[in-house]
Structure 1
Amino acid sequence: MTNGALSRFNPAQPGARGMKRVATGLLVVMAAVFLAARAFESRYPWLSLVKSFAEAAMVGGLADWFAVTALFRHPLGLPIPHTAIIPRNKDRIGEALANFIRENFLIPSVVARRMQNIDVAGATGRFLRTPAGEGTRIRAGASRLIADIFESLDDERLGGIVKGAISARLRKMEVSPLLGHALASAINEDRHVPMLEAAIRWMARALDANEPLIREMVHKKANWVLKLAGLDAKLADAIIDGLKKLTVEMSEDPAHPVRKKVEEALAQLANDLQTRPETRARVESMKDQLLDNKSVSLWLDTLWQKGREAVIRAARNPDAVLAGKLGEVLRSMGGTLEKDARIRAAINQFARRAVVGMSASYGSSMVKLVSETVRGWDAQTVTNRLEAAVGRDLQYIRINGTLVGGLVGLVLHVVDKL
């Protein structure tokens, strides 16, 4: 952004310019009052008080104008020593700002001490539980920011980064023990029973749907004697009836021998996935082959697009999202965070460790970024930005200097006369 564009863009500058005109106008008024009082002082002696006030006010106003101007540029363009302080010392200012940030915000011990009194979990709980009020405005602003960020980022590049990160993480992760542990936990808690019953029902439906195929296979495999006697049809009927009876018995009897055998096989598989090297190696090989498959890559593409679109939709209309089941879940989570001291303490501890760890790992980089950014600005940019930030208050200094100088001059004049 150019300096001209910066000057037009910054909303603080019109106020600074207005106060600058007020301070300069007051100085001009004091000069006019001084000239008028001086001209009529011989006719009206009491005007000496006014003249002394105006004279001292001009001195005070000019002195403060010089001091304020000297911060940002050379007064009247004259290269007076120790003027244009900020442009000449911008690198030192950047270093000082960086050191201030590091010493007060980014040292791990300081961060840990400041985080001791911050209830991250409680604030999160209140934020999630409050459906309206101040939290709504904060949530709306945060939602718009999230949506704008996701829409502005390079979709193809970011999607590639996300997919690459997921794929790399999956390749490094040994999934076999996780699968084995999950399967063993499901068996121990009988959570495998609904899946097993669903498999039995699926087998029954598949048997009904493929009955003609079974009959055809039996007919083809039967020898000519069975076909001649018509026994192939009876054999097919016996096979189909037996399979149907087996599925019904397995569905109705939890202690059915076949069902027990299946459960024993699942338990053995869970154990092999966790302990047997051959099984674990085979699963990892299958995982790598699956990740190399183009269909999986396309699936990840679709997953990323749907996830991104869902985040943007939710961020654009957070109230609609929070009004449904998700809102109920989030409000329930918020209530839990507020009420459960043990969970709140654990989350706060995790937040403190995470922030302290980030400050230890990235604090120096952040400080370096600040100092290098300021060093990279040209002197005029630094001057414009700082003047826009504090210029209004500095003009008040000029106004105060004019008025205080006038009062001091008036007091000295009275003391001199007395």
Structure 2
Amino acid sequence: MHPAPVLIEQLEQNADQLKRARLRTMQWVAVGLLVAAALLFALARSQRGGHPAWGYLEAFSEASMVGAIADWFAVVALFRHPLGIPIWHTAIIPNSKDGIGQSLGAFVENHFITEQGIAERIAQADPASLLGAWLRDPRHAQQLGDSAAGVAKQLLSMLDQQQMRELLRSKATHYLGELNLSSVAADCIDALIADGKPQELLDFVLDKGADYLADESHHAAIGDFALNAFHIENKLIKAGLVLYEARMIRSLQEFLVAVRADPQHPMRARLSGWIADSALHLKSDAHWQDTVKRYQLQALASDKVQAMLGEVWDSISERLLADLNSERPALARTIARMAGNTGQVLASDDKARAWLNDTIVAGTSSLVRRYRGEVGDFIESRLALWSKEEMSTRIELAIGRDLQFIRINGTVVGGLAGLLIYAVTQAF
């Protein structure tokens, strides 16, 4: 399969060959008429005294030759010097190449590339409706989703994984370091207090604690914990504690049950006060805020956290690749669904269509205002790349076949004019 530029060049060459062949055909037709007129003139001239009709034929053929030659000169003079002779005001197109480029650029710029003209054309086309109809087709929506997934997969494979890993780790570290963790924590505590979550958490702890104390299999461990916590080495005191161990545990259990059963228990109020006080300190106490900030930065600087942040990109890319390599990627389905929904909105919502059309018009008008002056310069610069001969050849291939009809018409009309003049002369 040929690349697009090569294919386009071949098509242009084929088109030029066809135009050149048709031009030659019409040139031979015009030359043939001139030759026919010359033969008729010679025949009529040789039979001049035989019959009055030969005079009319002679006048017709003579005027036909004059008309054919004059129009041949006029047509040829547009593109080159007739017979190679540099006659004044011939080879008009090659000699006017720069002026033609300037005039053509200015004409296109002033009469075609205008805000009003383009806006009217866009309004007639109604691109919002066309886009909506295209997106509503499930095949188009699916094609759009599949194409987007394919592009995403290719882009993902082209990325430098190590660079992306370091970039994401650096950005995440910077963002988390700039985060005001004290304010976030205070807001979370306020939200928990507003929802009554601290009391629910306390009820949960009380229930679990009471259940733990009620299980006699835990009592020995509780006693050992108390002895170790107070560093009691005296055997007499140890014996006393073991003796009162069951009573101590039962008393603690009764306390937990009492707090759990009484919503107005002072312990609950103290807990709420402590939590609210913590939120207040996090909001306004500079010492608390500095402490939280210090621990926050220390945690972010730790090797473990940095390694975890570095693995974020690996996790993201693995999940994306797994999805993109699947038979129906979620990204493709999502984009297809969004495309279909967009098509439905554009089909049913007049305001949405009007907004999109107006946006396209506004964007296009802005481009026209910005680049309109460059259109003429672009056309002029492109034509400047052509040589005089190339420009003349291109124009001749474009309109030369039609210009040959001028020669044909000149032959016929010239002959008729000569015939009319001769007839009038003979009449008077």
Q: Residues 273 and 279 of structure 1 are in contact (CA less than 8 Å); yes or no, is this contact kept in structure 2?
A: yes
In structure 2, how many angstroms separate the alpha carbons of the residues matched to 1:171 and 1:152? 30
Partner of 1:157: 163
Residues 1:271 and 2:280 aligned together: yes
User: For residues 183 and 402 of structure 1, do their structure 2 counterparts lie closer, same or farther at Cα, with a shift above 3 Å needed?
Assistant: farther
User: For residues 406 and 40 of structure 1, do their structure 2 counterparts lie closer, same or farther at Cα, with a shift above 3 Å needed?
Assistant: closer
Partner of 1:392: none
Residues 1:18 and 2:27 aligned together: no
User: For residues 216 and 137 of structure 1, do their structure 2 counterparts lie closer, same or farther at Cα, with a shift above 3 Å needed?
Assistant: same
Q: Residues 226 and 232 of structure 1 are in contact (CA less than 8 Å); yes or no, is this contact kept in structure 2?
A: yes
Residues 1:167 and 2:165 aligned together: no
Give the Å deviation of 1:253. 5.1
User: For residues 178 and 59 of structure 1, do their structure 2 counterparts lie closer, same or farther at Cα, with a shift above 3 Å needed?
Assistant: farther
Give the Å deviation of 1:269. 1.1
Partner of 2:54: none
In structure 2, how many angstroms separate the alpha carbons of the residues matched to 1:200 and 1:12? 80
**1:28-67 correspondence runs (5 A):** 28-31=21-24, 34-35=27-28, 38=31, 42=35
Q: Which amino acid aligns with 2:158?
A: S
In structure 1, how many angstroms separate the alpha carbons of the residues matched to 2:205 and 2:2? 66
Partner of 1:180: 186
User: For residues 81 and 408 of structure 1, do their structure 2 counterparts lie closer, same or farther at Cα, with a shift above 3 Å needed?
Assistant: closer
Q: Deviations over 1:253-274 (max 9, x none)?
A: 5444333322221111111111
In structure 2, how many angstroms separate the alpha carbons of the residues matched to 1:273 and 1:26? 85
User: For residues 304 and 278 of structure 1, do their structure 2 counterparts lie closer, same or farther at Cα, with a shift above 3 Å needed?
Assistant: same
In structure 1, how many angstroms separate the alpha carbons of the residues matched to 2:97 and 2:212? 92
Q: Which amino acid aligns with 2:235?
A: W
**1:34-183 correspondence runs (5 A):** 34-35=27-28, 38=31, 42=35, 132=138, 134-183=140-189
Give the Å deviation of 1:399. 5.5
Residues 1:225 and 2:236 aligned together: yes
Q: Which amino acid aligns with 2:11?
A: G
**1:193-208 correspondence runs (5 A):** none
Q: Residues 61 and 399 of structure 1 are in contact (CA less than 8 Å); yes or no, is this contact kept in structure 2?
A: no
**1:215-254 correspondence runs (5 A):** 215-220=223-228, 221-222=231-232, 223-227=234-238, 229=239, 231-245=240-254, 254=263
Give the Å deviation of 1:142. 2.3
Aligned residues: 319
Structure 2: tracts of 5 or more residues without a match: 41-63, 81-94, 102-114, 116-126, 346-350, 364-369, 375-380, 387-392, 417-428
User: For residues 413 and 163 of structure 1, do their structure 2 counterparts lie closer, same or farther at Cα, with a shift above 3 Å needed?
Assistant: farther
In structure 2, how many angstroms separate the alpha carbons of the residues matched to 1:204 and 1:157? 54
In structure 2, how many angstroms separate the alpha carbons of the residues matched to 1:32 and 1:135? 51
In structure 2, how many angstroms separate the alpha carbons of the residues matched to 1:164 and 1:60? 74
Structure 1: tracts of 5 or more residues without a match: 1-7, 64-79, 87-103, 105-117, 339-343, 357-366, 372-381, 388-394
Give the Å deviation of 1:14. 0.4
Q: Deviations over 1:62-117 (max 9, x none)?
A: 79xxxxxxxxxxxxxxxx9979xx9xxxxxxxxxxxxxxxxx9xxxxxxxxxxxxx
Q: Residues 204 and 247 of structure 1 are in contact (CA less than 8 Å); yes or no, is this contact kept in structure 2?
A: yes
Give the Å deviation of 1:296. 0.6
Give the Å deviation of 1:26. 2.6
Which protein has the larger Cα radius of gyration, Structure 1 or Structure 2?
2
Q: Deviations over 1:144-203 (max 9, x none)?
A: 222322221111112211211221222233221222123213322335555555555676
In structure 2, how many angstroms separate the alpha carbons of the residues matched to 1:263 and 1:27? 97
Moved more, 203-212 or 237-246: 203-212
Q: Which amino acid aligns with 2:302?
A: N
Moved more, 201-210 or 247-256: 201-210
In structure 2, how many angstroms separate the alpha carbons of the residues matched to 1:272 and 1:315? 48
Give the Å deviation of 1:232. 3.5
In structure 2, how many angstroms separate the alpha carbons of the residues matched to 1:210 and 1:257? 28
Q: Which amino acid aligns with 1:190?
A: G
Q: Deviations over 1:322-358 (max 9, x none)?
A: 799xx7xx98xx89xx8xxxxx99xx9xxx9xxx9xx
Give the Å deviation of 1:403. 3.9
Identity rate, percent? 15
Give the Å deviation of 1:37. 6.7
In structure 2, how many angstroms separate the alpha carbons of the residues matched to 1:169 and 1:415? 88
Q: Which amino acid aligns with 1:405?
A: L
